[in-house]
Amino acid sequence: MLARPLLAFLREATLPLCYPHALPIAFRRLHTGPSSLPTPPPLDTLTNASNSNEALAWIFAFKMQQIPKSLVELSFSRSSGPGGQNVNKVNTKATLRCPLNSEWIPLWAREHIRKTPHYVSTTQSIQITSTVYRSQSQNVQDCLSKLHALIVSASSASLIKETSEEQKERVRRLERAEKAKRKTAKVKRSEIKRSRSSRDWD
């Protein structure tokens, strides 16, 4: 279950973006970067539910934005994908590259990104290609969409969900049962030792 303040935050954040004054202050602050992308909180790892709530707020804001082309490097080449004879004449294949240490990519998501096929260790960057469309511009948008989805997925991978009261109570019951079990076993061992001692004296 999400913390109540975050739930209230998300409810307010769903107001139409055409009324920015109606958005919560915390949400508006996430959109102050020069690239129009929200600035991720400075969290290396997500170690508790509080960290996850901060990360979730950023993910929510990031999902509502598009990655500008100015933040990535694009190159083009001839595609072997669909397009008939046009494929061999026009550079429709789009290749996107983006440094992993870009300030708009969350720190806590980077380790997950390194484990994906899109990470190039020699250049420490993300590389994505697209040959889906006959149009160069459409392939560029496809690359940007894939990058956006990758960032969201990597950022969400290590979120820690806050434990519900039912789960907490279940854990407490299990702990009590385990303690009782250990206590019973200890009493039995003590009784066995006493019985052995009494036989030795006899």
Helix (H) or strand (E) holding 95: strand 93-99
For residue 166, the model assigns a pLDDT of 65
Domains of the chain listed by start with CATH number: 49-158 (3.30.160.20)
Residue length, the chain?
202
For residue 164, the model assigns a pLDDT of 65
For residue 86, the model assigns a pLDDT of 57
The answer to whether residue 20 scores a pLDDT higher than 60 is no
Q: Is 77 helix (H, G, I), strand (E, B) or coil?
A: strand
Backbone angles phi, psi at 128, to 5 degrees: -135, 135
Separation between Cα atoms, residue 184 and residue 82, nearest integer Å: 72
Tokens of 167: 């789960």
Which of residues 146 and 16 earns the better pLDDT score?
Answer: 146
The model carries a pTM of 0.64
